[in-house]
Amino acid sequence: MRVYYDKGLIIEAEGLKFLLDPRSRADFHSANLVLVSHGHSDHISGLIEASENVRVGASNITHEIARLVRVERDRRFLGNTVLMDRKHGFRTDKYNVLAYDAGHCMGSLQFKIDTGEHLIGYTGDLNFCESITERKADVMDCDVLLIEATFGSEEYVFPEREEIISEILAYAEKNVSDGVPLVLIGYSLGKCQELTSLISKGLGCDVLAPKQIFEFNRIFERYKTGLGKYFEIESEEAREIIEGNKYVLLLPPSYLGRNAPEKLAKAFNLPKPPKVAICTGWAAKNSFFFSMQQAYNIDAAFPLSSHADFSQLLEYVSAVEPSIVYTTFGNPVNLAKQIKKRLKIKAQPVVNKMQQALETYSINQEPQITLKTDINKPKTPEKAA
Ligand SMILES: [Zn+2]
């Protein structure tokens, strides 16, 4: 069996080739199966670019997200996707595949491939604690585990989620009751569904969001549950809500730029510059806030993440008890080292030249659909995470 990275994770076993979360221009043709774990832009190319004779496994929701992106980019609709769901999969005469919840964002899956000789588990991005919108990731029973290592470094240990959530709520409540416009920044897919529910239901306050987040919220509600009251920022209701001064505006990180408060006030015609706060796991490190404050003049940063932190990654591996672990994305070298040292389980990083360092916060890391108000978006290259 071989595991390596070549524009996607590749597993070769028993004469079969599995391509996991391929990126653009991966070798789709030689793969027996492509699996797409979730809808973030650095994972979804398999659904957008694989040719029609390649079988692709993904969840209903991820497939729907890919269709949104494809319409925008004028890509072909793929009819060859095998739609999968938690504890469901499919069988062929050579292998079986079963899907599990990854807890990362709506539609995110882990996969277990049974080749007869090996039980191989692939987590994709995962969250090993319950969030407002997602269940905790399932523990797969497998011998070989491929796990993401986004926060695979000791410095990324998050406080309890309840604690982070109450801090965000208290912060939002204070600003809203003081009549200060507030912008919360988070990835459109995943984080912003959680923030919509938190603000709308938890605080009882209206949420405004650009079309991209609005569309994702609608998909979430169609498949899962209601998120409360939210409005598209360009709508007439939103204008009235802004005048009433009791709302929180959610935006993806791509809206950040120099002097963000002034620019956002101008772009959205807000009565005064808003306070801007970022919700991301990278905020677990103190230096993150100071560098973002310097770069974008933000007011606060909260370590609310859709990924497992360092301790949860170890906890997950320990619960699975595989005979070997391959670590990938983010900080695979350190995570493998710590798994060997602390859990006494064989582990090795899958690296390529894009992945030798811990990923940093990337402001363009998600599918872009339509941004009606395109204000001074910094041109940062997309990163692999
Ligand atoms: Zn992701």
Quick one: pLDDT at residue 362?
A: 58
**C-alpha 38 – ligand 1 centre gap (Å):** 7
pLDDT category at 356 given cuts 50, 70, 90 is very low
- Same domain? For 293 and 171 the reply is yes
Tell me if 334 sits within 8 A of 157, measured CB to CB: no
Q: Which two tokens stand for residue 84?
A: 């999968």
Spatial CB neighbours of 52, under 8 Å, sequence gap ≥ 6:
76, 78, 79, 80
Q: Which two tokens stand for residue 232?
A: 């598209």
**C-alpha 180 – ligand 1 centre gap (Å):** 32
360 in a domain, yes or no? no
Pairwise CA distance, residues 218 & 230, whole Å: 10
- Same domain? For 232 and 298 the reply is yes
**C-alpha 266 – ligand 1 centre gap (Å):** 31
198 in a domain, yes or no? yes
Residue range 187-203: mean pLDDT, rounded: 97
379 in a domain, yes or no? no
**C-alpha 125 – ligand 1 centre gap (Å):** 5
Q: Which of 45-59, 69-83, 109-123, 252-266 has the lowest mean pLDDT?
A: 69-83
- Same domain? For 206 and 336 the reply is no
Higher pLDDT, 219 or 329: 219
**C-alpha 307 – ligand 1 centre gap (Å):** 8
**C-alpha 270 – ligand 1 centre gap (Å):** 31
Whether residue 351 is predicted with pLDDT greater than 90 in this model: the reply is: no
Q: In what order do the strands lie in the sheet with 56-59?
A: 2-5, 9-13, 16-20, 33-35, 56-59, 81-84
Query: How far does the chain reach from its first CA to its final CA, in angstroms?
Result: 24
Tell me if 357 sits within 8 A of 364, measured CB to CB: no
- Same domain? For 131 and 57 the reply is yes
Domain count within the chain = 2
365 in a domain, yes or no? no
Whether residue 344 is predicted with pLDDT greater than 80 in this model: the reply is: yes
**C-alpha 181 – ligand 1 centre gap (Å):** 29
pLDDT category at 358 given cuts 50, 70, 90 is very low
pLDDT tens by residue, 85-94: 998 999 999 9
- Same domain? For 102 and 41 the reply is yes
Quick one: pLDDT at residue 81?
A: 84
Quick one: pLDDT at residue 313?
A: 98
pLDDT tens by residue, 307-340: 999 999 999 999 999 999 999 988 999 999 999 9
314-318: long-range contacts at Cβ-Cβ below 8 A with a sequence spacing of 24 or more?
314/338, 314/339, 314/342, 314/343, 315/128, 316/123, 316/126, 316/128, 316/137, 316/139, 316/147, 317/145, 317/147, 317/343, 317/345, 317/347, 318/343
Quick one: pLDDT at residue 274?
A: 97
- Same domain? For 215 and 247 the reply is yes
- Same domain? For 137 and 268 the reply is no
Q: Which of 228-237, 283-292, 325-334, 365-374 has the lowest mean pLDDT?
A: 365-374
- Same domain? For 122 and 218 the reply is no
pLDDT category at 20 given cuts 50, 70, 90 is very high
**C-alpha 40 – ligand 1 centre gap (Å):** 5
- Is the C-alpha dihedral spanning 50, 52, 54, 57 positive or negative? positive
**C-alpha 176 – ligand 1 centre gap (Å):** 30
Residue range 94-100: mean pLDDT, rounded: 97
Whether residue 167 is predicted with pLDDT greater than 90 in this model: the reply is: yes
Whether residue 47 is predicted with pLDDT greater than 90 in this model: the reply is: no
Q: What is the mean pLDDT of the chain?
A: 89
375 in a domain, yes or no? no
Closest CA to 50 of 73, 25, 15, 67: 25
Tell me if 260 sits within 8 A of 190, measured CB to CB: no
Q: Which two tokens stand for residue 183?
A: 């912008």
374 in a domain, yes or no? no
Quick one: pLDDT at residue 360?
A: 55
CATH number, domain with residue 185: 3.40.50.12650
C-alpha separations of 256 from 210, 253, 260, 319, 335 in Å: 14, 6, 6, 39, 31
**C-alpha 47 – ligand 1 centre gap (Å):** 15
Tell me if 109 sits within 8 A of 124, measured CB to CB: yes
Quick one: pLDDT at residue 82?
A: 87
Count of CA atoms in the C-beta half-sphere (13 A) of 245: 9
**C-alpha 190 – ligand 1 centre gap (Å):** 8
- Same domain? For 29 and 118 the reply is yes
Tell me if 183 sits within 8 A of 150, measured CB to CB: no
Neighbours of 324 (CB within 10 A): 15
Quick one: pLDDT at residue 44?
A: 84
pLDDT category at 75 given cuts 50, 70, 90 is low
26 in a domain, yes or no? yes
- Same domain? For 138 and 232 the reply is no
**C-alpha 325 – ligand 1 centre gap (Å):** 20
Q: Which two tokens stand for residue 21?
A: 């979360």
The residue segments making up the domain with residue 88 are: 2-155+306-351
Pairwise CA distance, residues 351 & 361, whole Å: 19
**C-alpha 151 – ligand 1 centre gap (Å):** 12
**C-alpha 44 – ligand 1 centre gap (Å):** 10
Domain-ending residue, one of 287, 302, 317: 302
**C-alpha 199 – ligand 1 centre gap (Å):** 22
362 in a domain, yes or no? no
- Same domain? For 323 and 336 the reply is yes
Domain-ending residue, one of 282, 302, 322: 302
- Same domain? For 98 and 24 the reply is yes
